[in-house]
Structure 1
């Protein structure tokens, strides 16, 4: 049986089986990671997984989970962020509107 050696920040070096390691390979390479539950302290440890680590873990028998980041998450956004007050204002507008379609047709700037 294959033994995988990893390190826990609290306990130091630990030995794991391939089934104890979760390997997530992302479409954005810098977002790939591996994780495991430390057999000593039971904490979940999560570490980045570069191409060399991915190859090593796969050769050791660790199953690969593929993960693709949606394109929208990688878009560059401009402008100010939405504040809690903006969300509350929006909720109040929705709550006070009987016909959302008519509000959308008139435009939000007429309701305030």
Structure 2
């Protein structure tokens, strides 16, 4: 059986089996990572996984989980942050309208 050597920040070098390693490959390469529960201290250890690390872990028998980040999550956010007052105002609008789509589209709406 393949043995994978990794390091825990608390315990130092540890040996793992492929089943003990979680490999997540993301559509944004800088977000790919591998993780494992340290067999000694039981803490979860998570580290970045570049292309070379991914190739090495896959060749060692670690299964790949694919992670697709939606485009909306990568968009630049502009404008002021949403405040608690904005959230409360939105909740009041949700309670007061029959047709939320009409309100969102800018058409006149009828209050309940």
Q: State whether TM-score is above 0.5.
A: yes
Equivalent residue number for residue 54 of structure 1: 54
CA shift digits 1:49-96 (9 cap, x unpaired): 00110011011110011111111111112111111221111112222x
Give the whole-Å Cα distance in 1 for the aligned partners of 2:73 and 2:30: 14
- Structure 1 residues without counterparts, runs of 5 or longer: 108-112
Q: CA deviation at 1:100?
A: 3.3
Q: Please state if 1:32 is matched with 2:32.
A: yes
Equivalent residue number for residue 98 of structure 2: 99
Equivalent residue number for residue 9 of structure 1: 9
Give the whole-Å Cα distance in 2 for the aligned partners of 1:72 and 1:51: 25
Give TM-score, length-normalised by structure 1: 0.87
Please say if residues 94 and 100 of structure 1, whose CA atoms lie closer than 8 Å, have aligned partners that are also in contact.
Answer: no
Q: CA deviation at 1:103?
A: 6.5
The 1:70–1:102 alpha-carbon spacing in structure 2 relative to 1, beyond 3 Å, is: closer
Q: State the number of aligned residues.
A: 107
**Poorly superposed stretches of 4+, deviation over 4 Å:** none
Please say if residues 24 and 64 of structure 1, whose CA atoms lie closer than 8 Å, have aligned partners that are also in contact.
Answer: yes
Equivalent residue number for residue 110 of structure 1: none
Larger deviation, residues 15-24 vs 98-107: 98-107
CA RMSD of aligned residues (A): 1.9
Which structure has the highest helix share of the two?
1
Give TM-score, length-normalised by structure 2: 0.87
